[in-house]
Amino acid sequence: MNKVIHLIPYNDIGGVERAARTMISASTEGLEFKVETIFPKSVVTNRWKIWNPFYFLVTVVRVIYQKPQLLVVSLWRAYAVGVLVKLLYPQVKLVVFLHLPKDMHTLDLFLS
């Protein structure tokens, strides 16, 4: 079974989230497609909690535990998790999905 995980920061109403959700139906025999989020819905309402490194580290462990063959990351917070997963689980193929032709801020520039 080939496993693909699309990692997004949180499940909201933006274009990235909608695109990721449309791929869930792409799972077929021999291919499992899954959308994972870094932050649960309850955390997103508190802007300070989205800087908590605990959520990033838990997500790294959760992704590695699932042993995906391909990890797709969208948006800069997911890039950070993707880099850590790749360092700790080098056999995963990492796809960085860039959404804009320019960086929005310093962290976006550094991580992408």
Binning pLDDT at 50, 70 and 90, where does residue 39 land?
confident
DSSP E strand boundaries for the chain: 2-8, 31-37, 70-74, 93-97
Q: Among residues 36, 30, 27, which one has the least CA distance to residue 62? A: 36
- CA dihedral (75, 81, 86, 89) positive or negative: negative
> What is the mean pLDDT of the segment spanning 74-98?
91
Amino acid 25: pLDDT: 73
Q: Has residue 108 got a pLDDT over 60?
A: no
> What is the mean pLDDT of the segment spanning 90-96?
95
- H/E segment holding residue 81: helix 76-88
Amino acid 11: pLDDT: 72
Looking at the chain, the whole-number percentage of residues with pLDDT higher than 70 is 73
Amino acid 40: pLDDT: 81
> What is the mean pLDDT of the segment spanning 3-26?
76
Q: Which amino acid is at 61?
A: V
- Which has more pLDDT, 76 or 43? 76
Secondary structure of residue 99 in the 3-state scheme = coil
C-beta atoms surrounding 7 within 10 Å:
27
Backbone angle region of 34, left / alpha / beta, with phi > 0 → left and psi within -120 to 50 → alpha: beta
Amino acid 112: pLDDT: 63
